[in-house]
Amino acid sequence: VGQSAPGYIEMNITDNVIGRAAAHALRERGVLKRKSLGLEITKERMANFSKDYQNTYQMTMEDLFDEQGNPAGTQVRLQIPTV
């Protein structure tokens, strides 16, 4: 957690699993049977939280790769308004 811009707190969340592109490919092939709702739920919660404030939240996602270009996870960056 860090201070990004005035009026915001920034959080960076990093995982080291297969990454979004590889997970999508597995879902397309039918290997993964369920649809992840975590990001959708988080976006909804953040929208509800920030609707009463002048500033809104921001969320960016970055796919991570190792030195050989293999998927190495995802980093999510949240900037939420301070209250």
Q: What would the pLDDT profile of 2-58 be if each residue is shown by its tens digit?
A: 446 777 889 898 888 776 677 767 667 666 566 667 778 888 888 887 777 666 788
What pLDDT shows up at residue 35?
Answer: 65
3-state SS, residue 8: strand
| Cα 12 to Cα 59: distance, rounded to the nearest angstrom | 10
